[in-house]
Amino acid sequence: MEKQKICIMGLGYIGLPTAVMFATHGHSIVGVDLNESIINTLNNARSTIKEPYLDILVQAAVKSGNLKVKKTPEESDVFIIAVPTPVKADKTADMSCVVAATKAIAPFLREGNLVILESTSPPGTVNEIMVPILAESGLKIGEQLMVAHSPERVLPGRILIELVENNRIIGGINQKSAEMGRDLYKTFVNGEIYLTDVATAEMCKIIENTFRDVNIALANELAMICEKTGVNVWEVIRLSNKHPRVNIHQPGPGVGGHCLAVDPWFIVEKYPEETKIISLARRTNDAMPEHLADKISFILKDISGRKKITVLGITYKPDIGDIRESPIIHLIGLLKQRQDYDISIVDPYVNNSEYKTEDLLSGASESDLIILGVNHKEFASVNFKVVSSVMRNRNLLDTRNFLNGDELERLGFRYYLHGRDYHL
Ligand code: SAJ
């Protein structure tokens, strides 16, 4: 495909990697973001997001002259919208960034342009929210201006690999819009590209993440049942998954991140009557920190004086630094509300002024309980013999079935496993 000028609105977790992929494959990219510090950092060829290999690609894209970052859009061949679509306190989607980005590009649209929405959005967004704004350009939608939805599907921690390898769905407001989208993404996508209509593409994206959320809720419900039964949920899942058609997900402290913990609400908002399983699953996963807080109160109930808890890992999943919607952060909040615990945090991936981290030995010093919150790979090689020597009481709660319980018990720990031990 000949070189295209592509304007990408929003340079976050999806917009930035997408921009550098297009830029390093020969297209000319205008990246637009409202945040001055993001603009300056990127124009200095430094990445604003921690993601494997992204810094190298940002450098290549900016130094080649193919990626320029600014505050406002300009005339282009293609416009890609990759702005956040968070959920509000009332669990409905906050579409203000999509609306603002669509309004911002409207004055720069010309005949023959393609507008693509990548942000995960409630069903109906393209036709009900975007098309009326785009029509204000005076261009005939579907004839002079093409519009498509190509939902992002990449996994944080593997974004660049998955941008290339994953299959993609592109939904167009008509066949031509979808085909133009396919020709563009083929620049760097090696996976299959499936064409469909916008409403189908919107529904696919939401249900993919909902599928995972519902399955995790089932695993979490099973964990709570197993605790009452005195059975080890991890062993139940391991053995059940030997069945050729069973794939039970992993229980844990809850579901975090900006996707699984958010997207299912978009479908609940639109179809409240029908989404009984989906909303119950969402609430089940959201309640897991509460369940763990009860368990922690139980573990610490006989210890007198002020109690200290050491939390290993506060991110929403392992080996990344992202703490958005992290269930462990919710758990810390609940623990602070319930009792005046001393809480120390150990997390090699987090550098955050609100959540100060400590090194392991000072964090564990005089501690009454270690909680393994996230299974960062670094925690697999912790020397718990040394750690135990600085603790006041040797209790350990493993929320992920990550540590060697037998070994810890040999070292004098009382090892509590989420999904197995809980006797109120
Ligand atoms: N989790 C469990 N048990 C499991 C799997 C995950 O408790 O069996 C928890 C994790 O600990 C984490 C949360 O769920 O807190 C989400 O983690 P994840 O790795 O499942 O997914 P995300 O949110 O990082 O990325 C998802 C991906 N969607 C799917 O796998 C269907 C990704 O492909 C999407 O692009 C991304 O959402 C998105 O942006 O929508």
| pLDDT (tens place) for every residue of the chain, 424 residues total | 899 999 999 999 999 999 999 999 999 999 999 999 999 999 999 999 989 999 999 999 999 999 999 999 999 999 999 999 999 999 999 999 999 999 999 999 999 999 999 999 999 999 999 999 999 999 999 999 999 999 999 999 999 999 999 999 999 999 999 999 999 999 999 999 999 999 999 999 999 999 999 999 999 999 999 999 999 999 999 999 999 999 999 999 999 998 999 999 999 999 999 999 999 999 999 999 999 999 999 999 999 999 999 999 999 999 999 999 999 999 999 999 998 899 999 999 998 889 999 999 999 999 999 999 999 999 999 999 999 999 999 999 999 999 999 999 999 999 999 999 876 5
Which atom of ligand 1 lies closest to the CA of 212?
Answer: 31
Q: Residue 339 has which token pair?
A: 């009792």
CA nearest ligand 1 atom 11, residue: 317
Select from 213, 247, 260, 331 the residue to mutate for testing ligand 1; criterion: most ligand atoms less than 8 Å from CB.
260
The H or E element spanning position 397 is: strand 395-398
User: Alpha-carbon dihedral of residues 390, 336, 217, 373, nearest 10 degrees?
Assistant: -20
Q: Which residues of 130-153 are buried (b: 16+ CB within 10 A; e: fewer)?
A: bbebbeebebebeeebbbbbbbbb
Which among 119, 259, 267, 401 is the best mutation to test ligand 1's pocket, defined by most ligand atoms within 8 Å of the CB?
259
pLDDT at 353: 87
If residue 116 lies in a helix (H) or strand (E), which one and from where to where? strand 114-117
Residue 205 among the catalytic residues: yes
Distance CA 243, CA 222 (A): 17
Q: Look at ligand 1, atom 3, and give the residue with the nearest C-alpha.
A: 250
Q: Which pLDDT does position 339 carry in this prediction?
A: 87
State the catalytic residue, choosing from 7, 68, 97, 205: 205
Measured in Å, residue 316 CA sits from the centre of ligand 1 at: 9
How much distance in Å is there from the Cα of 371 to the middle of ligand 1? 22
φ/ψ of residue 416, rounded to 5? -105, 125
pLDDT given for residue 388 in this prediction:
97
**Tokens 């720990």 label which residue?**
413
Instruction: Count the Cβ atoms, other than its own, within 10 Å of residue 43.
Output: 14
Residue 32: both structure tokens together = 């637009």
Ligand 1 centroid, distance to 211 Cα (angstroms) = 10
In angstroms, what is the span from residue 379 Cα to ligand 1's centroid?
21
CB 261 within 8 A of CB 285: yes
- Choose one of 169, 218, 317, 402 to mutate for the ligand 1 pocket test, by most ligand atoms within 8 angstroms of C-beta: 317
CA distance linking residue 342 with residue 82, whole number of Å: 40
Residue-level pLDDT at 134: 98
Question: Using CA positions, which residue lies closest to atom 32 of ligand 1?
Answer: 155
Closest CA to 326 of 354, 363, 364: 354
pLDDT at 24: 97
Give dist(CA 283, CA 47) in Å, integer.
36
* Ligand 1 centroid – CA 260 distance (Å): 6
Which is nearest to 115 in space by CA: 123, 124, 126, 129?
A: 126
226 is catalytic: no
Q: Pairing mode, if any, of strands 168-172 and 146-149? A: antiparallel
Q: At a CB cut-off of 8 Å and minimum separation 6, what does 250 contact?
A: 216, 219, 237, 400
Which token pair is 347?
């997390």
| Per-residue confidence (pLDDT) for residue 423, from 0 to 100 | 61
Nearest atom in ligand 1 to 154's CA? 35
Q: From the CA of 394, how far away is ligand 1's center (Å)?
A: 32
Q: Are 113 and 102 in contact (CB under 8 A)?
A: no
Given the residues 259, 295, 307, 308, the one annotated as active site: 259
The secondary element (H helix, E strand) that includes residue 60 is helix 54-63
Using the mean position of ligand 1's atoms as its centre, give its distance from the Cα of residue 284 in Å: 16
pLDDT at 27: 98
Report which of 305, 330, 311 is spatially closest to residue 370, judged by C-alpha positions.
Answer: 311
User: What's 107's DSSP letter?
Assistant: G
Q: In this structure, which residue's CA is closest to atom 29 in ligand 1?
A: 209
Nearest CA to 420 among 251, 223, 217?
223
Nearest residue CA, atom 30 of ligand 1? 209
Ligand 1 neighbours by CB, cut-off 6 Å: 120, 152-156, 208-209, 212, 216, 249-250, 252, 255-257, 259-260, 316-317
Q: Rounded to two decimals, what is the model's pTM?
A: 0.94
Q: Whose CA is nearest to atom 39 of ligand 1?
A: 259
